[in-house]
Structure 1
Amino acid sequence: MATKAALGMELNLSAMKKDLQTIRTLCRQRYLRHCSKWCGEMLMALQDVNEDPQEPVGAAPPPEPAEAAELETVELAHDYLTLGELDRAAHQSRHCTGGRGRFLHLYSRYLAAERRRAEDAPEPLAPAPRTKCVELTELRAELQPLCESPAGGDGDGFISYLYGVVLRRLELRAPAVRALTDAVRRQPLLWQAWLELAALVTDREMLARLQLPDNWMCQLFFAQVFLDLQLNSEALAIYRAFQEAGLQRSSYLSAQIAIGYQNMREVDQAIELFQNLLKEDPCRLENMDSYSNLLYVKGMQVELCSLAHNLSNINKYSVETCCVIGNYYSLKNHHEKAILYFQRALRLNANYLSAWTLLGHEYLELKNTNAAIQCYRQAIDVNRLDYRAWYGLGQMYEILKMPLYCQYYYKQAHQLRPNDSRMLMAMGESYEKLDKLQEAKRCYWKAHSIGDIEGVALLRLAKLFERLCEPMRAAAAYADYIRDSEGQDIWDRDEQAQAYRFMANHFLLRGQLDETAHHAARCTEFPETREEGKAILREVAQRRAEEAAARGGEAPGATGATSATATAAGTAATAGPSETPLGMSPLPPYRLLFSP
C-alpha cells in the first residue's frame, strides 16, 4: 500500500510498518526505551495496514556467532539495566564481543556516568563545580577506535549513535554531528539518532550540507528541524502529508502539529489539538508542559488547574508535571511557589529546556535580574535556538539600562523569529536608546508591515517621526493609529489621548479648523488632555470669529464652501494608507540591515 504524499517520495505504509517493527525489536534489545516507545506509538497508527512480505531496508542483521554464545550473559545484563542496576549491567557484560553485548556494556557505563553526574550536580543556580567529565572522556576514548573502524563498531549504527551522544554531552558539536550522521547512514531507522542530530542543526545551510539517507524517517527529521528553526509552515506541510498518507491516528504527528500552531501563535487551534490528544490518551505526560503554556497564555485557570491535578495523580515527580504545576502557580501570581516547582523539574532533568526558560520568566517577574540572566543563559546552553531565552536576556539588559547588550540579544531573537513583531519592536526601542533613529524607524515600519501583535508599532513610528521633525509622516502614522484603535477598543487610552492632541495641534498649525475642532473635541474625552482640548477649541472659535469679521459682507454661501473645502482637506489628511502607507518610500530589504 503505497501513497504519493507531498514529501517528494513515495510512502509505502506496509514497508513502514515492517521497518518500525524491526527497529523496535533492535531498540528493545539495547534498552533504548524512548525509541522503542516512539516506534510503538507510530505502529498504533498503522495497526490496520497489512504487512508487506518484502524485507525492508534496515532489517536486523543475522546474529553473530559470538552473540549466540553469550546470549545468557547479555540477557542478564539487560535485566540489570531494566532494574536500574547500571554498574552491575556494565560489569556483567564487560567481556562481551558481540554487537548487542558490547553496546549494552558501553551504554550501561554511559547511563551510570550520567546518573552520577546528575546526583553530584549542584542546585540549579549554584556555581557549577570545575570538574571534568572523566568517565565520559574515558568512554569517548574507547568508542573512537570502534567507530573509526570500517565496520563502524557493530555495523548497524548503534555504536556510532552512542559515540555521537557522548561527544554531544562533552560539547564537541562538530565531531558529534559527524558521528550521528554516520549513525543514521548505517541505521536509517534509529529515531533517537535522528533526534540527537536535529538538536545540533543550527540553520538551513547546515541542514543542506548534511549527507543523509533518503527515506521516510529523514522526512520526519526535516520536519523536526524546521520546527526548531521556526520554519513552521514547512514543518506542518510534512506532518500533514504523513497524515494524509494514512497516519491520521498518530499521536506524535498531532502533537507536533500542535507545537507548530503554538509557534505560529495560533493558540486556539493548538489547544484544540492537545485536548483531542488527551481525550485519546488521558494519561499522556509528553508535551503537556507545552499545553500548559497555551492555557497560561489564554488565562484558562480552571483548565490549567484540572491538568495539574490530573498529571499529579499520574506521576507527580515527572518534569512535565512540575512544569504544569509551576505554570498554574505563576498564573495565580504565586511566583515563589512556581519557582519551587520549576527548580524541582531541573533537579529531575538539568537539561530540560522549558523549565530553564520558565524559571527565568519567574525571576523576571520578581525583578531578580541576576538569577533570570543565569536561567536564560542556561537555556541557551541547552538549545541555542530558543528565541524566548534570547529575548529574555534582552529584557534583562534593558532593565539594567544597557541598550547595546540588549540590542545584541534582541537581534539574536529576531534572527530566530524574523516574522515576530515583538522582536522588531524591542530592537527598535534599543536602537532609539542608542540614537540610531533611522534603524529604529525601519524596525517599527517592518513590525507594522508584518502584523503588529502588540498594536504599538504605528504609535512608536509616529513619535519617532516627531523626533525626526517629519510632521506630515507623524500625522499620517497617528491617523492610522487612531483608526485602528477606534476599531478595536483594546488600546491604551493614554496613548490615544496623546495621538488626538498631536493631530489637533497639527491641523491647527495648518489652519484646518474643522479637523482641529474634531480632534480637540476628542481630547476633551480624556482627563490628561481635557484642558488642552478646551483651549484648542477656544482658539478655533476665536479664529473662526476673526475669519467671519474679515469676510465682512461676503456672500452667505461662501462660508459653507470654505468649511466644506477645509473638511475635505482634513479628510484627505486622515485617510488610511494606500499602497505605501504614511507617505513613505519603499524601504530596502530588511535582512540587509543585519548583514555583517
Structure 2
Amino acid sequence: MATLSQADEAQLKAQLQDAVVSCTERCLYQSAKWAAELLTSLPSADDAGSVTDVDSPMSDAPPPHTPTTVPKDPTELRLEAREAHKYLLAKTYFDCREFDRCAAVFLPSTLPKGSIYAASPPSAKAKTKGKAKLGTPTKPKIVADSTQALSQKSLFLALYAKYIAGEKRMNEDSKMILGPEDGGVTVNQELPGICAILETWFTNLPASGRQPQGWLEYLYGVVLAKGKNETLAMDYFIRSVHRCTFNWGAWQELIGLLGTAEELNQIISRLPQNIMTFIFHVAASQELYQATEQVHSSLTQILSIFPTSAFLKAQRALLHYHTKEFDEAEQIFNNILISEPHRLDNLDNYSNILYVMGMRPKLAFLAQLSSNTDKFRPETCCVIGNYFSLKSEHEKAVMYFRRALILDRTFLSAWTLMGHEFVEMKNTHAAIDSYRRAVDVNRKDYRAWYGLGQTYEVLEMHSYALFYHQRAAALRPYDPKLWMAVGQCFSKVNKVTNAIRAYKRALVAGSYYDAGVGSSFGSGDMSALGGGVLDPEVLYQIALLYERLQDMQECSAYMELVLAQEEGPEYDEATLEIGGGVGVTPTTSKARLWLARWEYMRGMYQRAMELANELCQDGVEVEDAKALVRDIRARIEREKNDSR
C-alpha cells in the first residue's frame, strides 16, 4: 500500500466525513464513532504548524473542495425530501430510546384485539382472562402497506428501530445469568417480521429500478446471521461493504462470521480493494490469532496514514498479547491510556495483561479510572473483576463479571473470565456453563475451549477433555501449552502414539514462539526444532511415553535431551561459558535419576555413578540418589569379589 497522495488524502477525508454523517443519520452510533476517530487521526495541515490566525482574512475562506462520495440516486433524494419531517421525528424518538414509536412513524402498527377502543366494558370473566394474559400481550402487527414507497434511509431507520426494540425486550425477558432458567435461548421476536420485509424488498428491487445503498444489505445480513444463515449473511455483508465501505459495523459482522485464516484468505478477493479492506484484514487476523510479520507490516503501513489512531494501536497491542509478548502489549496500552484516559475500549484486554504480569497497583489504578469514567460499561466491570481475582477474592470477581453480562450478554471476556473464577472456586458445573456460553458467543475463543478441557480433566472425563483441547489447539496451532494438554489427554485415554505426536507438536510450537518461525510446523520432524532450547517437561513426558511403549532406546534418547537443556546450545569461546540453558530443574533431575538407574540396570556403573553424584550436588532427589550410589558401590564391590 503506497503513501497517499494529497488528492487521495482529501478524498479519504471526505469519505470518512460522509460515513460519520451517514452512520449518525441511521443511528449506527458505534460505526459513526469509529469513522470519526479514524478521521481525526489523519494528519491535518494544523499538525504541520500552518494554523491560520482566526483574525486573518484567510479564516473566512471556504474550505478547499474535496471530492464527494458515491452520487445519490435522484429517486432516493426525492423520497427523502418528501419524508424529511417524519424522518426527523422518527430519529428523535430513536435518540430518546422510544424504539417502537420510532418504527411506527414509517411502519404503523395495529393495536391487539380487545384494545382500549372496545365498545362496551368487558365482563368479569373477560377481566379475569385479561389479567391472565397481561404478561404476554399479543404483538402488534405491521399494517400491510408497501414499503417500496419509502426511501431506503427511512426504511432502514424503521426496521433498525424494530430490531433494537426486539433486542431490548429479549434482554428484559432473559433470566438471571446462569440461573436455573437461563438457557441462553431467548430470541429476538422481531427478527421474522424484519426478515420478511427485507426479503420482499430485495425481491422487488430489480423491478423497481432503484439503486441499493448498502445499508439495508447490512441490516439483512445482521438478521440472517442471527438466524444462523451465515453463508447468505456473508453475501449480503459483502454487498454492503461494496456500497457503503466505511460502515465499520458491516466489517465487524464479517469478522464474526470467519472461523479460520483460510476463510479469511478466500473472502479477500470478494472485497473492495481499498484501505478498509487492509484494516479489515488486520483486525480479522488479530481476531484469528494470526500475529505474523505480514500482519504487523500491513498494520505499520496503515498506521503511517492514521498515526494517532487508538483503534489501530490497540490492534498492535492485541497482536503482541496473543503471542504472549506482554511487555510490548502493556506499553502500547499504557500509551493509549495516557493519550485517551477516558477510552474504555479494550480495557478488559489491558486488565488481562496486567493480571498475567501481576501488576496489582496498576490494575487497581485502571479499575478506579474506568469506574470514574463509566461504572455501567462491561469493560469497567471486567477490569474490576480482574482486580478482585488478582486479590483472590473470587466471589467478588464473579459478581462483577455477572454485572458485565447483565449489561451485555454477548460480552465474551466476561463469560470466559467468570469460567476461570468458577474453576478457582471448585464450582465445575458453573465453570462449564460459563465456558459453553463463551463459545456460543464466539467459536474462536480458544481460552473458553481450553477452559472446558481443563474442567473436564478435573472431573476425570478425559475423552470430553480431549475434544475441547483439540478445538483449542486447532485455533492456536502454535501454542505449546495447548498441545501439551492434548498430549496429556491422549496419554490418559491410552492412545500413547497420538500422545507422543501431540507432545512433539508442542515442541515445534514452542520453537515457533522462540524463533518466530513456523514454516515447518506440523511435520512432526525433530529437525524442524532448530538449535533453540526445548521445554524439558515436554521432552520428559515424551520419554515416559516411549517407556510405556517399551521402546527404551527412544526413551533414553529423550531423557538425554532433557539433560541437554540444562546448558543450552550457546557457547561463548571468549569466556568459555555455556549459556542459554534452563539450568537444573526438578524435571531435569528426574530425567538424571531415570538415566542413572537405566545405566545401572545396563551394567554401566561408571556412568550411573557420575549421574547419581551429580544428583547429590543438585540438591534434588538427593535421598534416591544416595541410595542409588550405595547400590552401585555394593554391586561394584560384589563383582570385584566374584572376579577373585
TM range (shorter): 0.7 to 0.9
What residue is the counterpart of 2:537 in the other structure?
Answer: 456
User: Residue 195 of structure 2: which of 118, 134, 140 is its match?
Assistant: 140
What residue is the counterpart of 2:297 in the other structure?
Answer: 237
Q: How does 1:9-28 map to 2 (within 5 A)?
A: 12-28=8-24
Name the CA distance, whole Å, in 2 between partners of 1:508 and 1:221: 62
What residue is the counterpart of 2:234 in the other structure?
Answer: 177
Displacement, 1:36?
0.7
| Contact 1:3–1:11 (Cα < 8 Å) also in 2 | no
Name the CA distance, whole Å, in 2 between partners of 1:55 and 1:152: 26
| Contact 1:125–1:374 (Cα < 8 Å) also in 2 | yes
What residue is the counterpart of 2:599 in the other structure?
Answer: 507
Q: Is residue 2:466 matched to residue 1:407? A: yes
Displacement, 1:360?
1.0
What residue is the counterpart of 2:395 in the other structure?
Answer: 336
What residue is the counterpart of 2:173 in the other structure?
Answer: 120
The farther-off stretch of 84-93 and 374-383 is 84-93
| Contact 1:147–1:163 (Cα < 8 Å) also in 2 | no
| Contact 1:147–1:159 (Cα < 8 Å) also in 2 | no
Q: Is residue 2:454 matched to residue 1:395? A: yes
Name the CA distance, whole Å, in 2 between partners of 1:79 and 1:270: 41
Report the count of equivalent residues: 547
AA in 1 matched with 2:593: R
What residue is the counterpart of 2:89 in the other structure?
Answer: 76
| Contact 1:13–1:49 (Cα < 8 Å) also in 2 | no
Name the CA distance, whole Å, in 2 between partners of 1:451 and 1:255: 26
User: Residue 104 of structure 1: which of 144, 149, 157 is its match?
Assistant: 157
Displacement, 1:10?
13
Displacement, 1:55?
2.7
SS at match of 2:600: helix
Name the CA distance, whole Å, in 1 between partners of 2:356 and 2:546: 34
Q: How does 1:459-498 map to 2 (within 5 A)?
A: 459-485=540-566, 494-498=586-590
AA in 1 matched with 2:79: A
Displacement, 1:18?
1.7
- Under a length normalisation based on structure 1, what TM-score does the superposition of the two structures give? 0.85
Name the CA distance, whole Å, in 2 between partners of 1:193 and 1:85: 24
Assess, with a 3 A threshold, how the Cα gap between structure 1 residues 58 and 437 changes in structure 2: closer, same or farther. farther
SS at match of 1:144: helix
Assess, with a 3 A threshold, how the Cα gap between structure 1 residues 129 and 407 changes in structure 2: closer, same or farther. closer
| Contact 2:613–2:629 (Cα < 8 Å) also in 1 | yes
Assess, with a 3 A threshold, how the Cα gap between structure 1 residues 425 and 59 changes in structure 2: closer, same or farther. farther
Q: How does 1:224-303 map to 2 (within 5 A)?
A: 224-233=283-292, 234-244=294-304, 246-303=305-362
Name the CA distance, whole Å, in 1 between partners of 2:508 and 2:7: 40
| Contact 2:103–2:159 (Cα < 8 Å) also in 1 | yes
SS at match of 2:97: coil
Assess, with a 3 A threshold, how the Cα gap between structure 1 residues 53 and 94 changes in structure 2: closer, same or farther. same
AA in 1 matched with 2:241: V
Name the CA distance, whole Å, in 2 between partners of 1:489 and 1:187: 55
Displacement, 1:66?
2.0
The farther-off stretch of 437-446 and 265-274 is 437-446
SS at match of 1:202: coil
SS at match of 1:524: helix
Assess, with a 3 A threshold, how the Cα gap between structure 1 residues 504 and 353 changes in structure 2: closer, same or farther. same
SS at match of 1:283: coil
Render the CA deviation track for 1:254-284: whole Å, top value 9, x for unaligned. Answer: 0011111111111110000000100110111
Name the CA distance, whole Å, in 1 between partners of 2:299 and 2:209: 32
- Under a length normalisation based on structure 2, what TM-score does the superposition of the two structures give? 0.79
The farther-off stretch of 72-81 and 250-259 is 72-81
Name the CA distance, whole Å, in 2 between partners of 1:366 and 1:490: 33
| Contact 1:14–1:49 (Cα < 8 Å) also in 2 | no
Displacement, 1:114?
0.7
AA in 1 matched with 2:469: Y
Render the CA deviation track for 1:505-532: whole Å, top value 9, x for unaligned. Answer: 1222344434322321233367883333
| Contact 1:346–1:352 (Cα < 8 Å) also in 2 | yes
Name the CA distance, whole Å, in 2 between partners of 1:11 and 1:172: 41
Displacement, 1:405?
1.5
Gaps of 5+ in 2: 47-62, 109-148, 514-534, 569-579
| Contact 1:58–1:189 (Cα < 8 Å) also in 2 | no
What residue is the counterpart of 1:574 in the other structure?
Answer: none
AA in 1 matched with 2:254: L
Q: How does 1:348-367 map to 2 (within 5 A)?
A: 348-367=407-426
Assess, with a 3 A threshold, how the Cα gap between structure 1 residues 525 and 38 changes in structure 2: closer, same or farther. same
What residue is the counterpart of 1:55 in the other structure?
Answer: 67
Assess, with a 3 A threshold, how the Cα gap between structure 1 residues 152 and 112 changes in structure 2: closer, same or farther. farther
Displacement, 1:472?
3.1
SS at match of 2:2: strand
Assess, with a 3 A threshold, how the Cα gap between structure 1 residues 358 and 279 changes in structure 2: closer, same or farther. same
Aligned-pair RMSD on alpha carbons? 2.9
Displacement, 1:53?
4.4
Name the CA distance, whole Å, in 2 between partners of 1:417 and 1:57: 41
SS at match of 1:238: helix
AA in 1 matched with 2:257: L
What residue is the counterpart of 2:527 in the other structure?
Answer: none
Displacement, 1:545?
5.0
Displacement, 1:130?
6.1
| Contact 1:11–1:216 (Cα < 8 Å) also in 2 | no
Displacement, 1:494?
4.5
Displacement, 1:70?
2.1
Displacement, 1:321?
0.3
Displacement, 1:447?
1.1
| Contact 2:537–2:587 (Cα < 8 Å) also in 1 | no
SS at match of 1:360: helix
Name the CA distance, whole Å, in 2 between partners of 1:494 and 1:11: 65
Name the CA distance, whole Å, in 1 between partners of 2:197 and 2:484: 51
AA in 2 matched with 1:465: Y
| Contact 1:15–1:52 (Cα < 8 Å) also in 2 | no
Assess, with a 3 A threshold, how the Cα gap between structure 1 residues 209 and 499 changes in structure 2: closer, same or farther. closer
Render the CA deviation track for 1:186-232: whole Å, top value 9, x for unaligned. Answer: 22222111111111112244334432222211121122221222212
| Contact 1:19–1:59 (Cα < 8 Å) also in 2 | no
Name the CA distance, whole Å, in 2 between partners of 1:52 and 1:479: 73
| Contact 1:99–1:154 (Cα < 8 Å) also in 2 | no
AA in 1 matched with 2:555: A
Name the CA distance, whole Å, in 1 between partners of 2:3 and 2:620: 65
Displacement, 1:334?
0.8
| Contact 2:371–2:380 (Cα < 8 Å) also in 1 | yes
User: Residue 537 of structure 1: which of 624, 629, 637 is its match?
Assistant: 629
| Contact 2:363–2:387 (Cα < 8 Å) also in 1 | yes
Displacement, 1:156?
0.9
Q: Is residue 2:381 matched to residue 1:369? A: no
AA in 2 matched with 1:55: P
Assess, with a 3 A threshold, how the Cα gap between structure 1 residues 491 and 38 changes in structure 2: closer, same or farther. farther
| Contact 2:355–2:387 (Cα < 8 Å) also in 1 | yes
Gaps of 5+ in 1: 553-596
SS at match of 2:150: coil
Assess, with a 3 A threshold, how the Cα gap between structure 1 residues 60 and 52 changes in structure 2: closer, same or farther. farther
| Contact 1:146–1:152 (Cα < 8 Å) also in 2 | no
Q: How does 1:436-451 map to 2 (within 5 A)?
A: 436-451=495-510
User: Residue 225 of structure 2: which of 165, 168, 189 is its match?
Assistant: 168
Assess, with a 3 A threshold, how the Cα gap between structure 1 residues 143 and 486 changes in structure 2: closer, same or farther. same
Name the CA distance, whole Å, in 2 between partners of 1:508 and 1:209: 59
Identity of aligned residues (%): 35
Name the CA distance, whole Å, in 1 between partners of 2:251 and 2:450: 28
